[in-house]
Amino acid sequence: RAKARGRDRSERFDEEMRAEAMRLLDLEADLRRAIQRDAFEPHFQPIVRLADGVVVGHEALLRWKHELHGALPPSEFLRVCEDSGLIEQVDWLLYQRVVAWMGRHLEGYVSINVSPRHFHADDFAERLLRIIGDARVDPHRLRIEITEGALLDDAPRAARILNTLRAEGVLALLDDFGTGFSALSYLHRFPIQALKIDQSFIAGLSGETHAESLALVRAILALAGTLGIDTIGEGVETEHQRQLLTGLGCAYGQGYLFGRPVAQVEGRAPKARPAAVSARSR
């Protein structure tokens, strides 16, 4: 009986595996069609100076305009994009839209996300510089967001790519900082303009994990200060978190407190009034 039960279980497992594999294949086919239709669009979320709420830039976030499901966030499909290698095509479609849009609308900088594998693809830097040039956008207005993993994959190569981009004015932000290996000694080897402190630490500032998160955020800010690197707190949702971060010396922030990612910012980026932050959060 134990054997029979074991077989049932393994059959059920096989079935689930098969169903999951089918789902992923469907998703991949769906993605290929979406690439044909150019069905991706950037949503923009403001990045603000914490002290006064002035908008200094926006992060462009990938959304899939799905025929049935509306604007899908990356959590629904990024993994399949990366595993199938489709991410590069999707990213280029998105970056094209971002730079085209920058030419028409935004003030301040726009940061785009780059998957580690895509970052290390041949010609990444050259191709990015080319689409900026073609769109006649000032390269100083574009930044890239990469993760620690992308740097450590092949450090000398990563440094070369970043230096090529920086020479033309495209700066780099280190995304989700603190969640990777955070081998602090490597940081000074790369031209990084700012660390984006992962939202898990900001969320941790409230509640039981307060003391631990506070210590970690302090350590990150001290490190950045020593290296002369800017800091951006991610996932700032409450006025309390904003005040804590400001008090600790974090200069910039991003999160629902200041604005959600939206399909487009009407007209020019708003010149936030000094009182904007506290007024909105009350």
Of the candidate spans 27-35, 123-131, 166-174, 234-242, the one that interacts with ligand C2E by CB under 6 A turns out to be 234-242
Could you count the other beta carbons within 10 Å of the beta carbon of residue 69? 9
- Name which position in 27, 35, 71, 78 contacts ligand C2E (CB under 6 A): 78
* Cβ neighbours of residue 46 closer than 8 Å, sequence gap 6 or more: 55, 57, 58, 254, 258, 259, 265, 269
CB of 234 to Mg ion, least distance (A): 5
* Residue bearing tokens 């009407």: 266
116 interacts with, out of ligand C2E, Mg ion, none, CB within 5 to 8 A per kind: none
**Is residue 148 at the binding interface for ligand C2E, with CB under 6 A as the rule?**
no
**Is residue 265 at the binding interface for ligand C2E, with CB under 6 A as the rule?**
no
Helix (H), strand (E) at residue 49: strand 40-49
Q: Which of 110, 111, 46, 62 is nearest to 253 (CA)?
A: 46
CB of 7 to Mg ion, least distance (A): 41
- Name which position in 31, 119, 255, 277 contacts ligand C2E (CB under 6 A): 255
**Is residue 244 at the binding interface for ligand C2E, with CB under 6 A as the rule?**
no
**Is residue 41 at the binding interface for ligand C2E, with CB under 6 A as the rule?**
no
The answer to whether residues 191 and 230 touch, using CB atoms and an 8 Å cutoff, is: no
CB of 263 to ligand C2E, least distance (A): 12
CA geometry: angle 39, 40, 44, nearest 5 deg: 145
Distance CA 53, CA 273 (A): 7
Give me the 163-192 binding string for Mg ion, x by CB under 5 A, dash otherwise: ------------xx----------------
Q: Which tokens go with 152?
A: 């450590």
Site for ligand C2E, rule CB under 6 A: 45, 61-62, 73-75, 78, 87, 91, 94, 113-115, 145, 175-176, 199, 235-237, 254-256, 261
